[in-house]
Structure 1
Amino acid sequence: MTQTPELLCEVRGHVGFITLNRPKALNALSLGMVRGLLAQLLAWRDDADVLAVAVRGSHKEGVFGHFCAGGDIRFLHQAVQDGNPQVEDFFTEEYTLNHLIFTYPKPYIAFMDGVVMGGGMGISQGASLRIVTEKSKLAMPEALIGLFPDVGGGYFLSRCPGHVGEWLGLAGESLAASEAIAFGLADAYLPAAEQAALWDALGTQGFADGAAAQAFVQSRTQPQGPQAVRDTAAIDRVFALPTVQAIIDTLEAEAASASDSAEWAQQTAAALRKRSPLLLHVVLEQIRRARGMSMAEDLRMERDLVRNCFFQRLGQSETVEGIRALAIDKDQSPRWNPPRIEDVAEADWQAFFTSPWPAHSHPLAALKD
């Protein structure tokens, strides 16, 4: 068993149970956690006695609570500052883990309680059963730190209905249970208070196979959450526009009008104006390219992007600056370069899509769907 302070794994009955155990950091993924998850899932994949896997986050006052708030951005910021090559290892191994989960041959059941953002989405979106609660809060807010929705975000956001994926990637909006299910980012609803009993029961049943284990869990969930689901007509209309400039221009024009969508447009435009102008362009292109990609192809593209985010513009990295402003100095005043959406040249964002590696030497060349 993988048993570290940050990752608790055990087999009960015929199910492998994983608890992310870094509650003070909202279970943000460290490199050690990524490596432990990857090793454990590979071992259980080849273990005939393990029929299914279940994963949850821990809370500082006990189990369940926040699933996972993302990757350890403080570590990444310091690693770049120190020239630590583990920043490269982190993304290569994390994306390998994401791919393994998306292609896992056994049921993988994610209890997505509380905050599920960034890296937390990466270890849950590939699950065969994604369970949310009334406390769930799903988001891909990476553009706020000068990054893009990675960990397969291009793949799963691009498969949301209409142009919801562009909206989520650009504006970083959080979703509650009902909308997560409606937009294809979760499968079932379970009241938070019922999670512990179901988790415990899963390890006491006799199952003929993994499908029976998943069916047991699903039979105790509900197909919809308790909250209302918004009308996405305005989202689809605005986020179908061809460029970031067209999107922000339309939002700001509507915000100044007396239309029914004025308040939404104002709030959305304000959210976009807080994000890295350069990375907004990257995100829009990423999601639209990913619509025609497999998961492996998307992760290879994202590995190119993340290398370019941290290192291509070394000395003026949007990502390093965004992490500094949000999580290190916490001044909430990133110095974006360029500072405005209107100032981004097409060549600047297109450069992010040039791979630093020849195809045969790509760090994720071995991934296959």
Structure 2
Amino acid sequence: MTYVHENSELLTEVRGGVGFITLNRPKALNALSLGMVRSLSAVLLDWKDTAAIHAVAIRGSNKEGVFGGFCAGGDIRFFHAAALAGNPALEDFFTEEYALNHLIHTYPKPYIAFMDGIVMGGGMGISQGASHRLVTARTKMAMPETNIGLFPDVGGGYFLSRCPGRVGEWLALTGEVIGADQALAFGLADHVLDPANLATAWDALASQDWNQEDPLVNWVATYSVAESAHSTGAEGQIDQFFSRDTVSEILSALELDASGWAQATAATLRKRSPLMLHIVLEQVRRARSMTLADDLRMERGMVRHCFATQHLGRQGPSSETVEGIRALAVDKDHSPRWSPARIEDVTTEMVEGFFQSPWPAHAHPLRDLV
């Protein structure tokens, strides 16, 4: 049977003991709307307690059909409009999205994410907690939030800080896009599938014997392809630079290094929000010793500060995030007016304010996550 939940942007179907979910907003690269977050949460909670459903699979769609694109993140145009209008739905979005991320990480049944095509931002939030994270040769994975004056949220502090060495700092600060091999090497994916076999693998889930002890072992063996050698090329360089104490020290070391990689990385950092670079480095390093629930609570406070930066007297159009989204996605002039404009001008006090919770513990919107 096929049935559409609250909106046509999320298609759900149950076959052979499997709940199938298709993100169906291809013109927006399946960017998550509040309606999609709510529908996805409702479906997963329903299926969690439905004995006849043994596993969940999720995929994206593109303008030609299914697969080919997973999810480009949250709907940043909505963020921009809601922040300017003072729309309280902006607060609801992040609270409900982060609760959804936690639900996926703690889901008691297999959750199989077909991470084909673009998997960025909020798309990572609905896939990194999967029991089976499947990538392909078409996967383009990133947490590019510093490009819009935001930080890698949706649990990004938690899962990026668990990457080997200082890879988490590198991915979080630069927003670098990686493919399947690097995703595997960095612990952000589990198996590679051939794009040509995705539809067959998807359909085959409905014919698994869910009474077996580990019913997906043979399925994975059948459809995953041999991985390339896990040489990421730059891992030694990443640790060399991104283990330094501050963003200024990381950047200075990169700019003093004559290698093409270091120079390109330094140039990337110079384009990002200086304020958010400092905040992101602190985020990843704090999250390394946090539980997922505590990280999500921290990030929920941080994102409130991004749109209403009261300790700096900035909100709405003067906030770093609204300005970043304006430059990238609204006016598209790609000339954000970052404040401060230079990495060297960010102070400790500016950064620390982002880590002060706007709520007492008993009133935090994610207080019940464990």
C-alpha displacement of 1:155: 0.2
Aligned to 1:304: 301
Mapped to 2, the partners of 1:147 and 1:219 lie a distance apart of: 40
Residue from 350, 354, 357 that aligns with 2:356: 354
Residue from 266, 291, 295 that aligns with 1:269: 266
Mapped to 2, the partners of 1:210 and 1:325 lie a distance apart of: 52
C-alpha displacement of 1:220: 2.0
Mapped to 1, the partners of 2:27 and 2:68 lie a distance apart of: 11
**Greater Cα shift, 122-131 or 225-234:** 225-234
Q: TM-score, normalised by structure 1?
A: 0.96
Aligned to 1:280: 277
Listed one character per residue, the Cα deviations across residues 222-263 of structure 1 (whole Å, up to 9, x for unaligned) are 352488522411100100000000001101111xx3xxxx10
Aligned to 1:327: 329
Fraction of identical pairs, as percent: 64
Distance 1:287 1:269, change over 3 A: same
Q: Does 1:36 align with 2:67?
A: no
Aligned to 1:92: 95
Question: How many pairs are equivalent?
Answer: 362
Aligned to 1:122: 125
Asked if the contact 1:27–1:57 (Cα under 8 Å) also holds between the matched residues in 2, the reply is yes
Amino acid at match of 2:358: P
Listed one character per residue, the Cα deviations across residues 7-41 of structure 1 (whole Å, up to 9, x for unaligned) are 00010101000000000011000000000000000
Asked if the contact 1:129–1:214 (Cα under 8 Å) also holds between the matched residues in 2, the reply is no
Amino acid at match of 2:161: S
Distance 1:128 1:148, change over 3 A: same
Mapped to 2, the partners of 1:196 and 1:230 lie a distance apart of: 32
C-alpha displacement of 1:214: 5.9
Listed one character per residue, the Cα deviations across residues 85-105 of structure 1 (whole Å, up to 9, x for unaligned) are 000000000000000000000
Secondary structure of the equivalent of 1:38? helix
Aligned to 1:11: 14
Mapped to 1, the partners of 2:262 and 2:8 lie a distance apart of: 45
C-alpha displacement of 1:307: 0.2
Mapped to 2, the partners of 1:298 and 1:223 lie a distance apart of: 34
Aligned positions of 1:121-140 closer than 5 A: 121-140=124-143
Asked if the contact 1:109–1:214 (Cα under 8 Å) also holds between the matched residues in 2, the reply is no
Distance 1:209 1:79, change over 3 A: farther
Which residues of structure 1 form unaligned runs of 5+?
none
Mapped to 2, the partners of 1:22 and 1:141 lie a distance apart of: 20
Mapped to 2, the partners of 1:266 and 1:249 lie a distance apart of: 11
Q: Does 1:197 align with 2:183?
A: no
Residue from 355, 362, 365 that aligns with 1:363: 365
Distance 1:338 1:221, change over 3 A: same
Mapped to 2, the partners of 1:111 and 1:209 lie a distance apart of: 23
Asked if the contact 2:4–2:10 (Cα under 8 Å) also holds between the matched residues in 1, the reply is yes
Secondary structure of the equivalent of 2:207? coil
Listed one character per residue, the Cα deviations across residues 265-301 of structure 1 (whole Å, up to 9, x for unaligned) are 1110011011100000000000000000000000000
Asked if the contact 1:51–1:209 (Cα under 8 Å) also holds between the matched residues in 2, the reply is no
Secondary structure of the equivalent of 1:157? helix
Q: Does 1:314 align with 2:315?
A: yes
Amino acid at match of 1:78: A
Listed one character per residue, the Cα deviations across residues 29-63 of structure 1 (whole Å, up to 9, x for unaligned) are 00000000000000000000000000000111011
Mapped to 1, the partners of 2:83 and 2:72 lie a distance apart of: 21
Asked if the contact 1:190–1:221 (Cα under 8 Å) also holds between the matched residues in 2, the reply is yes
C-alpha displacement of 1:200: 1.1
Residue from 146, 151, 173 that aligns with 1:143: 146
Amino acid at match of 2:147: L
**Greater Cα shift, 194-203 or 288-297:** 194-203
Listed one character per residue, the Cα deviations across residues 155-177 of structure 1 (whole Å, up to 9, x for unaligned) are 00000000000000001111110
Aligned to 1:107: 110
CA RMSD of aligned residues (A): 1.4
Asked if the contact 2:146–2:272 (Cα under 8 Å) also holds between the matched residues in 1, the reply is yes
Which residues of structure 2 form unaligned runs of 5+?
none
Amino acid at match of 2:96: E
Mapped to 2, the partners of 1:218 and 1:7 lie a distance apart of: 29
Q: Does 1:66 align with 2:63?
A: no
Aligned to 2:289: 292
Mapped to 2, the partners of 1:275 and 1:265 lie a distance apart of: 16
Aligned to 1:232: 235
Q: TM-score, normalised by structure 2?
A: 0.95
Secondary structure of the equivalent of 1:37? helix
Mapped to 2, the partners of 1:226 and 1:321 lie a distance apart of: 41
Asked if the contact 2:185–2:230 (Cα under 8 Å) also holds between the matched residues in 1, the reply is no
Q: Does 1:49 align with 2:46?
A: no
**Greater Cα shift, 354-363 or 203-212:** 203-212
Amino acid at match of 1:220: Y
Aligned to 2:166: 163
